[in-house]
Structure 1
Amino acid sequence: MRFSGRLALCLLSASLLASTVFARADDDKKKDESKPAEKPAATEVTTQGSVDVGGQHILYNAIAGTITVGATDVQDAQLGLDGKPEPGSQLALNEPKEAKDAPPTARMSYFAYFKRDAKAEDRPVTFFYNGGPGSSTVWLHMGSLGPKHVATSGDQHLAAAPYKMVDNANSLLDVSDLVFVDMPGTGFGRLMGKDPEKAFWGVDEDANAFARFIVRFITKYSRWNSPKYIFGESYGTTRSAVLADVLENNKNIDLNGVILLSQIFNFSTDIDFPQGNPGVDLPYVLALPTYAATAWYHKKLPQQAPALEPFLKEVEDFAMGAYSHALAQGTDISAEEKQATAEKLHNYTGLPTTYILKANLRVNGGEFEKTLQDDQDLTTGRLDTRYSGPSIDPLSQFADYDPQSSAISSAYVSIFNDYVRKDLKYGEGQTYLPEALFGGAQWSFLHRGNPIALNVAVDLAEAMKTNPRLKVMVNGGYYDLATPFFAAIYEEKHLPIPQSLAKNIEYSFYESGHMVYVRDESLKQLHDRVAAFITKTQTDGK
């Protein structure tokens, strides 16, 4: 879930608004197209471990492995649990001589943690995945609610290796078994067969692959009667909306809950490049509270508010009221109202009034990140605006990189590669891909045949209407400019569901960024709130 630069982000957002199929730079770096020669991944390896959470000493089995899924339901049904064509099936009878000519399949890597000596029907299982699209799940695996945690407290660039990994006292293993799943083409998984990128790298294709993975996983480990949860971060929340609908309506699997972290459903509200879609001013409105939180954190406000959350409520009211009204007028706005709005924005963001006026009251994410701390030649973070770093080009209009991404990425990737081989005894002789090697391939944002900008709100709404017991938990960071928290609230409040189902949605926000778990205090809050959500919903209505 790393970022290669503001230019890539701008190109991405422009392509989304044009409804093209370009890989989202939410987690994107240009990759080398070459693929290293490797020995095949082992199907699975089991090790044992323990962790202390909330006074419990939890013994667990850790399983690292891969599961192969087909590109279609028909093809997938002809694959055995070993990923090979069933004897006598059409796939087996028509198996080509060359592997490259075979129907496309995806070998997906996973890391599961099962509490020992627990009955499956009494034990929830939660499936975790990151986003991108194009990211493995190394970030959630090593940062959030697994049994191990990369130490990253603070808002500064970490010192180089050796990094520190600790037992995670906030692991979710106290209430649920955990499965961290890498998307097709990342981790230890690989794409195989003919044109596999087209078969798996798209909104619908990807969600269906995850659905097939979950079906195969719960079959392999006899978890059909366990309470089930999905936990997605960033584009993973986009996947969750579609995946929930597929599981509920195509796979006959009722979920107990959908847990969303750093949500994005409607890509036309993206604050990275809203100027590419003139006339749609909602991105500026929904990002304003995050601008205000960031200015408050860095003490850039003309008058520092004593507490964050009451201040944000004031900003939200202004954003949905006077600010929306000013933007809606376009060129008809009076000079007086424009000046008054700019001065109010100055009070809430710390940006100079003259700058805001030059921006026509519309400052995008990259401009805000570059300008907020310009007097100190610092660029503000995007994933987590608490972070800052030296500006690469003091004269540039946009932020040229993300200081938060740069601050922690090496620690996560380095620690995981050490941990997976030493502790989980998996991956020897293999390369773990933190992100997909897109090369010349592209991600298809076409969803349900709809050529306009991606919006998956209808999918989650459909899942909630067909399963009115389905509960949703929305989590987000106040300092997240990749997926602003107020945008998540807006999206949920505008799901096409009856008002009676709105009570099935709960919200939790944290004084952290996109990866709320990098802050120790927020990680504990995340654990406590998600654990309470799972405990409540696994027995809800019974």
Structure 2
Amino acid sequence: MTLRLLAATAALALSAPLFAQDKGQATETKSAITIDPQVRVRDLVGTFGGQRISYRATIGETVLTSGDDKPEAVIVTTSYVKQPLDKSRPVFFIFNGGPGSGSVWLQMGAFGPKRVAIPSDARDDGAPPYPLVDNPDSLLDVADLVFIDPPGTGFSYLTPGTDPASYYGINADARAVGQVIRRWINENGRWNSPKYVGGESYGTTRTAALANELEGGTYNDVALNGFVLISTILDFAAREPTPGNEMAYVMTLPNMATAAWFHGKAEAPSVEAIAQQAREFAIGPYAAALMKGQDLPAAERATVRAELSRLTGLSEEYLDRAELRVTDQRFYKELLRDRGQTIGRLDSRYTGRDYDAAGETPDNDPSFYGIDAGYTAAINAWARDTLGFETKREYQSIGREPGRSWEWSLEGQFRGAYLNVAPYIGTAMRENSGLRTFVGQGYYDFATPFFGAEYSLNRIGIPQDRVEFHYYGAGHMMYIRDEDRAKLSSDIRTFIRSR
């Protein structure tokens, strides 16, 4: 499906004055809807990376319009800019994933000046109040930060009558976010500042699409210094375990091994050691066995089954019944069935208890319901109470509407082709010799497996000398673990400084 290009945009100055402007209002006449964008500004102080820094926090609405100047989308950004202003400082544009996820996770968990304090050891976050504390791991000492909530996420929304296809899709979403980035750069005079773009989960898919959107044109390119990919998903064919797609089982096996090791179901000197053992087995004997299908000799099957059992902690009998192919959903339920527990998808360190232990798949993901309430409370308290943003809209930490309407195909790709946006990363890096890519992966993340990230980024056409991988002892949102939040912050800080 061809998605129409977003045309003219309405003016909004995010370089706001010291005091907050009047809150945004939407009025409707017989001919059109007009929107008065809301912008709120606060001057604050904090200590980040060991430095005491004054910064300006701005939460504001950017209005995107159609070709006939009808407001179509209102996108909220929250920026933190060191004071006094230094235009030579890097700017880091940040978003989360979904599609449909607001930037609350990276803002209130990893890089914002404040964070929500929830248990670091894979325990449930319980009931409120949830402490909102200073975040010394924020990156404000090395870069100004701009958190973006794409349409349908956070407080951002589509106006009545707007066609969702204009915004809910890989290319359409990248165009909208690209417009917001260009507007922010232009209105804040940051065209010659070093620029970094990155996100988490589907936010890494968005980053790749933005590589094409921002650097892929002939005119008005926005040159970038770096991509920051956290919990990476670029090649979707390697992720979905549909019948006949053997690569999905290969890519997930190392995650099964690390989860088994963490819960005492597999033995190895360290998580790094068992991850490497599983990588070598997955891409070697295991992949070869799966590719042989029903021609797999019995002796080879027995050898592969035994090693698969050793690595995953599952019985050979179970693996035999599953034809050596265990989906992640089955694994969450089966690994600790003898203990009456399930494990998490986003973070397999977490455990939960289902209604009963007889089912094939879990009732829910304990690594999501174990943290979501704290983050939702934190972003609402921060945006509304501290920054003064006023709205009757509910903050959509995980909005359902974008995902329901999402267009998953790429423009210019023939119908039925599998989705892989990694080539966008390769093209941008080949055509920009100063562009580098940072990749951060959690060992216990089944949502975006670390082996899948490695596979997608070592394909032909991606300069390997400018791609760096970093690994963490938690899951999808590795920053919920205190040690990993500090390490992630330090690793990205070094990445930005080394430009």
Instruction: Please report the TM-score for the alignment, with normalisation by the length of structure 1.
Output: 0.83
Percent of residue pairs identical: 38
CA distance 1:439–1:204, change in 2 (3 Å): closer
Matched, 1:316 2:285: no
Q: Show the counterpart of 1:269.
A: 238
Matched, 1:420 2:383: yes
CA displacement at 1:134 relative to structure 2: 1.1
Contact 1:380 1:388 in 2 (8 A): yes
Q: Show the counterpart of 1:281.
A: 246
Matched, 1:517 2:479: yes
Alignment of 1:260-409 (within 5 A): 260-270=229-239, 273-274=240-241, 276-278=242-244, 280-301=245-266, 304-409=267-372
Task: Please give the secondary structure, in 1, of the residue aligned with 2:269.
Answer: coil
Q: Which runs of 5+ in 1 are unaligned?
A: 1-18, 22-37, 76-90, 93-101, 538-542
Q: Show the counterpart of 2:56.
A: 61
Residue type of the alignment partner of 2:360:
Q
Q: Show the counterpart of 2:79.
A: 112
Matched, 1:252 2:218: no
Deviations 1:384-408 (A, max 9, x none): 0010110234222122311010000
Between Structure 1 and Structure 2, the one with more helix by share is 1
Q: Which runs of 5+ in 2 are unaligned?
A: 4-23, 27-35
Alignment of 1:166-177 (within 5 A): 166-177=133-144
Task: Please give the secondary structure, in 2, of the residue aligned with 1:327.
Answer: helix
Q: 2: distance between equivalents of 1:503 and 1:190?
A: 40
Contact 2:37 2:63 in 1 (8 A): no
CA displacement at 1:42 relative to structure 2: 4.7
Among 28, 48, 53, the alignment partner of 2:43 is 48
Matched, 1:243 2:219: no
Matched, 1:162 2:129: yes
Q: 1: distance between equivalents of 2:205 and 2:392?
A: 33
Q: Show the counterpart of 1:98.
A: none
CA distance 1:516–1:441, change in 2 (3 Å): closer
Among 479, 492, 514, the alignment partner of 2:444 is 479
Deviations 1:259-300 (A, max 9, x none): 000111111111xx50x241x211111111111111111111
Contact 2:49 2:139 in 1 (8 A): no
CA distance 1:428–1:446, change in 2 (3 Å): closer
Q: 1: distance between equivalents of 2:382 and 2:352?
A: 29
Among 470, 489, 505, the alignment partner of 2:454 is 489
Task: Please give the secondary structure, in 1, of the residue aligned with 2:352.
Answer: strand
Contact 1:457 1:496 in 2 (8 A): no
Contact 2:99 2:403 in 1 (8 A): no
Structure 1 outlier segments of 4+, above 3 Å? 38-42
Q: Show the counterpart of 2:172.
A: 205
Task: Please give the secondary structure, in 1, of the residue aligned with 2:498.
Answer: helix
Q: 2: distance between equivalents of 1:439 and 1:202?
A: 8
Contact 1:300 1:349 in 2 (8 A): yes
Deviations 1:208-256 (A, max 9, x none): 1111110111112111111100111101101101101211122411100
Q: Show the counterpart of 2:198.
A: 231
Q: Show the counterpart of 1:13.
A: none
Q: Show the counterpart of 1:190.
A: 157
Task: Please give the secondary structure, in 2, of the residue aligned with 1:262.
Answer: strand
Contact 2:100 2:402 in 1 (8 A): no
Q: 1: distance between equivalents of 2:94 and 2:83?
A: 20
Matched, 1:531 2:499: no
Q: 2: distance between equivalents of 1:356 and 1:334?
A: 16
Query: Which stretch shows the higher mean deviation, 307-316 or 377-386?
Result: 307-316
Residue type of the alignment partner of 2:98:
G
Task: Please give the secondary structure, in 2, of the residue aligned with 1:107.
Answer: strand
Task: Please give the secondary structure, in 2, of the residue aligned with 1:68.
Answer: strand
Query: Which stretch shows the higher mean deviation, 511-520 or 461-470?
Result: 461-470
Residue type of the alignment partner of 2:198:
F
Task: Please give the secondary structure, in 2, of the residue aligned with 1:172.
Answer: coil
Task: Please give the secondary structure, in 2, of the residue aligned with 1:144.
Answer: helix
Deviations 1:491-533 (A, max 9, x none): 1001434xxx210111111111001111010000001110010
Q: 2: distance between equivalents of 1:438 and 1:518?
A: 27
Q: Show the counterpart of 1:507.
A: 469
Q: 2: distance between equivalents of 1:232 and 1:505?
A: 16
Among 94, 102, 105, the alignment partner of 1:128 is 94
Matched, 1:436 2:399: yes
Count of residue pairs brought into register by the alignment: 464
Among 419, 439, 464, the alignment partner of 1:454 is 419
RMSD over aligned CA atoms reads: 1.9
Q: 2: distance between equivalents of 1:277 and 1:247?
A: 37
Deviations 1:175-206 (A, max 9, x none): 00101100112222221254431100001000
Residue type of the alignment partner of 2:227:
V
CA displacement at 1:320 relative to structure 2: 1.1
Task: Please give the secondary structure, in 2, of the residue aligned with 1:216.
Answer: helix
Q: 2: distance between equivalents of 1:441 and 1:322?
A: 39
CA distance 1:310–1:439, change in 2 (3 Å): closer
Contact 2:115 2:134 in 1 (8 A): yes
CA displacement at 1:432 relative to structure 2: 2.0
Query: Which stretch shows the higher mean deviation, 407-416 or 182-191?
Result: 182-191
Residue type of the alignment partner of 1:469:
G
